[in-house]
Amino acid sequence: MTTFATAGVVSPAGGSGSQPAVAAVRDDMPDTTLYYPQSWPQQPVPVMLWANGGCRDNGLRYARFLKEVASHGYFVIAAGPAREERPTFLEEARAKANAKHEPEARSTPVGSADKTTVEQIINSLNLAEGFAADKNDEFYQRFDPSKVVVMGHSCGGLQALEVATDERLDGVILFNSGVINEPLKVQSTALRVQKSMLEKVHTPIAYVNGGPDDVAYFNALDDFNRLEHVPVFFAENGVGHGGTFGVPDGGSYSKVAIAWLDWLLKGDESAKQWFAGEDCVLCTDMDWQVQRKHL
pLDDT in tens, 103-156: 444 444 444 567 899 999 999 999 999 999 999 999 999 999 999 999 999 999
For 220-233, how does the pLDDT look when each residue is reduced to its tens digit (9 = 90+)?
999 999 999 999 99
Residue 5 is predicted with a pLDDT of 45
Please, which pLDDT band fits residue 6 given cuts at 50, 70 and 90?
A: very low
Angle between helices 251-266 and 63-70 (to 10 degrees): 40
Query: CA of 273: how far to CAs of 6, 30, 279, in Å?
Result: 42, 38, 8
The pTM is what?
Answer: 0.89
Give the other-Cβ count within 10 Å of 128's Cβ: 21
Choose among 122, 110, 137: nearest CA to 31. Answer: 122
Distance CA 265, CA 187 (A): 33
Asked if 79 contacts 151 with a C-beta cutoff of 8 angstroms, the reply is no
Average pLDDT value for residue range 18-27: 95
3 state SS of 192:
helix
| Residues 120/31, Cβ–Cβ less than 8 Å | yes
Q: What is the chain's alpha carbon radius of gyration, rounded to the nearest angstrom?
A: 18
pLDDT of 219: 95
Q: Report the half-sphere exposure of 32 (CA within 13 A, side-chain side).
A: 25
Bridge partners for 15 per DSSP: none
pLDDT digits (tens, 9 = 90+) for 24-69: 999 999 999 999 999 999 999 999 999 999 999 999 999 999 999 9
Bridge partners, residue 175, by sequence = 153, 208
Could you tell me if 34 and 23 are in contact, meaning their C-beta atoms sit under 8 angstroms apart?
yes
Q: Does the pLDDT value for residue 101 go beyond 80?
A: no
Nearest to 295, CA basis, from 216, 212, 205: 205
Domains of the chain: 8-293 (3.40.50.1820)
- Per-residue pLDDT, averaged over 175-204, amounts to 81
Between CA 245 and CA 265 the distance in angstroms is 23
Comparing CA positions, the residue from 162, 81, 77, 82 lying closest to residue 125 is 77
Q: What is the pLDDT of residue 114?
A: 75
Taking the alpha carbons at both ends of the chain, their separation in whole angstroms is 41
Tell me if 145 sits within 8 A of 125, measured CB to CB. yes
